Structure 1
Amino acid sequence: MKISPMETIFNIFNETATILQEELNCSYLEALAETGENLFHGNIIQEELSELTVKRLQKKYSELNIDMFSQEQIRKAYQLAILKGMKDSVQSNHQMTPDSIGLVFSYLIKKFMAELSSFSLLDPAVGTGNLLTTILNQMDDTEITSYGVDIDDLLIKLAYIGANLQSQPIQFFNQDSLEPLFIESVDAVVCDLPVGYYPNDEGAEKYTLKADKGHSYAHHLFIEQSINQTKPGGYLFFLIPNGLFESEQSPKLHKFLSEQVNIQGILKLPESMFKNPNAAKSIFVLQKKAPSLKAPKQVLIANLPSLSNQSSMENMIGKIDKWFMENKLEQ
């Protein structure tokens, strides 16, 4: 049976990562990063390997010409290998934004940024880079200067290597995203918000959305940091928990948003996307206020159908197009 291009790439990622994992006595994800580096550089860069292991790896690598595959084929195979590694990982922050959500983000960013032939895009919680590279691969007709920030050393390394393999020139920064960012203001932000408490109370002090007492919500601070990092008139696309405005700290968030941005839309993702309905999420679209900008006549509020339901999706796209005609194009 003929295997797909994605399976071909995945098999090489998986087999060579397993070899390196055993030889280097490291985790599968660390080994995956190492094999990704080898594939990108076209040679084996680990000097401590035995001669036998080098030969085994060379044989495997010779079976794959990475340049023969599309960016999306590489991304999906790499994502699959990362997901395999994450199953064995004990770190709860090792999670990945699903492909289907990335495609919805891509569609929305295309719609809202349609008038720009080039723009800058920041993901302040880039993780393994899957969301950001999904968007970039879907928008290869637009010149996008992109940035990714993450505090996790391993995740940012995986993101960097994945971007290299996909020929996506993303600039990565390995730091706490809630510390000052040495990145110029951007036209757009995309972020799968990390939900939870921010342990650095001292670092939270500079934020308007800090908690009055105790730890602050990291997701609130990420929203504030993202808005601060966005140019006036720029857009922000967040993946948010459905209960974002139900916490005891939400009145402060609501007030801050009303002062800083115009809410464009809240698109509730189908619960079928999530194993636990209580973990269901929505896409929250904002535009940073600027003197010449008006708020939309009405906020785009939608319950997205299952992406596999083609007729329902076409109907929803029609509704979104109508909203754009009435609220964006007439401004």
Structure 2
Amino acid sequence: MIIDNNKIILLQDKLDEAAMLYYEQKDGKLKYLDCLEAITKAFLNEEDLDNEEIVHILSELDQIDFNSEEVRQAILYLIIKGFKHQHLPLDTITPDRIGVICAHLIDALFEGKDKVYLMDLNLGTGNLVYTINNYSDLELYLMGIENNETMIKVAQIFSEMMMQDVQIYFQDALKDNFPQVDLVIADVDSDEYHSDTYESELTKLNINYFPYLLIEKHQYSGDEDTQFMFIVPNDFFSQKGSDEFKKAISENLEMVALIVLPETMFVDPSLAKSILIMQKQKQGEKRIPVSVFNLPSISDQEAFITMITEIKKELKERRFH
């Protein structure tokens, strides 16, 4: 995919200019993200804002073809601006580089498959799945769960501008299991989950670490060939209830690989994460030890590419052993 940075800058500048005009037209009573949503709908001819100046600005983009990745990067820049305007945490947006790495890993896991049904249990802005979709060689059917209306609005801005279909479930991630899914994925944080109505084997033991509960719940999603990919904090296995968590999933899931991402990939090293890959445990098959990889800094491109190639080879061998 050829990416034209000049097109990205042009698109983000024109959409931002139009959004700021609309913000002023509304006397600052709307949030920037609301204005951006209105502008994208106007750009797609879904809404008439009755503002000739905005129409003129958007018309300057009419004769330009943008590919999906150029649109995603331009919109991401504006989403970040909107997050800053509302003082929303930026670490809820999965970094692009993680999405690109996941795309390579997914291609290895599902090589030769015609279509992959992907479910993101923690959709957020959607940046993770949209990045994966743009960099994967596979045909992906995107689904996601999200219970925050602002995040859903952002995910829809992305999808509409990219003309990328995504099926969004507005609900709690611990509500349902999903049988028709090939890949379960999620970028999860170290949150505690408390609910008067949700109960599981772990919560009965007073273990409320959300990543544990999420995996415990969705070990029953998909079928025997379903793969799981979780982006987890580096202290994932040192949380209270780690042993109980491993026991709770031991009959259904086996850990395949743990890929430790370089700290240089994160603004704050204390927020560094790893990619945990799991698969359904097949009856009668012997468990293979978990493969652990430490990715080098992306600045050392040769070492980085060599390691990614090694991981992809390992995943292919593990899946078809």
C-alpha distance in 2 between matches for 1:158 and 1:126:
10
Q: Which residue of 2 aligns with 1:15?
A: 17
Give the secondary structure class of the aligned counterpart of 1:209: helix
Deviation beyond 4 Å, 4+ runs, structure 1? none
Q: Does the 8 Å contact 2:125/2:155 carry over to 1?
A: yes
C-alpha distance in 1 between matches for 2:204 and 2:265:
31
Q: Which residue of 2 aligns with 1:148?
A: 144
Shift of 1:240: 0.2
Give the secondary structure class of the aligned counterpart of 1:283: strand
Q: Does the 8 Å contact 2:5/2:70 carry over to 1?
A: no
Shift of 1:21: 2.5
C-alpha distance in 1 between matches for 2:197 and 2:269:
35
In the TM superposition, what whole-angstrom CA distance separates every residue of 1:166-221 from its partner, at most 9, and x where no partner exists? 1211111222222236x543110111014301132322x1x2332623x7222222
Q: Does the 8 Å contact 1:86/1:95 carry over to 2?
A: no
The equivalent position to 2:303 in structure 1, one of 312, 315, 322, is: 312
C-alpha distance in 2 between matches for 1:94 and 1:270:
16
The TM-score normalised by the length of structure 1 is: 0.88
C-alpha distance in 2 between matches for 1:298 and 1:217:
25
Change (3 A) 1:147 1:321: closer
Matched, 1:159 2:155: yes
How many residues are paired up?
A: 316
Shift of 1:280: 1.2
Q: Does the 8 Å contact 1:201/1:216 carry over to 2?
A: no
Percent of counterpart pairs with the same letter? 29
In the TM superposition, what whole-angstrom CA distance separates every residue of 1:37-96 from its partner, at most 9, and x where no partner exists? 2223x25345xxxx5xx1121011101138710000000000111111112223448720
Shift of 1:100: 0.5
C-alpha distance in 2 between matches for 1:94 and 1:275:
9
Matched, 1:84 2:81: yes
| Residue pairs, 1:52-131, within 5 angstroms | 54-65=51-62, 68-92=65-89, 95-131=92-128
Q: Which residue of 1 aligns with 2:234?
A: 242
Matched, 1:137 2:134: yes
Shift of 1:34: 2.0
Shift of 1:293: 5.4
Q: Does the 8 Å contact 1:74/1:166 carry over to 2?
A: yes
Tell me how large the CA RMSD over aligned residues is: 2.3
Report the residue type matching 2:290 in the other structure.
V
C-alpha distance in 1 between matches for 2:245 and 2:171:
25
Report the residue type matching 2:132 in the other structure.
I
Unaligned 5+ runs, structure 2: none
C-alpha distance in 1 between matches for 2:91 and 2:308:
32
Q: Which residue of 2 aligns with 1:258?
A: 250
